[in-house]
Amino acid sequence: MTDKINIEVVYALPHEQTLLKKSLPAGTTLIEGIEASGLLEKHSELDLSKHKFGIFGKLAKPDTVLRDKDRIEIYRPLIADPKEVRRKRAEEGKAMKKGGGDA
């Protein structure tokens, strides 16, 4: 077993995607990997206490120990709740179907 692991750290904004590759010591945690990547310096708006993280699309805790070739993803908060958007769209559809036009 090697004492180094290779990881990627990904952060996507609507207009810019950042992918950084890093070689770190084995036993590095997810939060340590983000800090070591240099991403926080590049994106000063990142607040690690407010964002969620994942490894290959699955939510992970900051103290998760990384494995070789892991890809850390930093998720931005949702602008709109998808359930609420679907509910409103469904209500608008019902209102339009109930009767329409001038009588």
Residues 48-91 have pLDDT tens digits of 888 899 999 999 999 999 999 999 999 987 777 778 888 888 88
pLDDT tens, position by position, 80-96: 777 888 888 888 876 55
Coil, helix or strand for 73?
strand
Placement of tokens 């009588």 in the chain: 103
Pairwise CA distance, residues 87 & 77, whole Å: 20
How far the first Cα of the chain sits from its last, in Å, is: 78
- Cα dihedral 57→62→63→69 (10° resolution): 40
Domains and their CATH numbers in the chain: 4-98 (3.10.20.90)
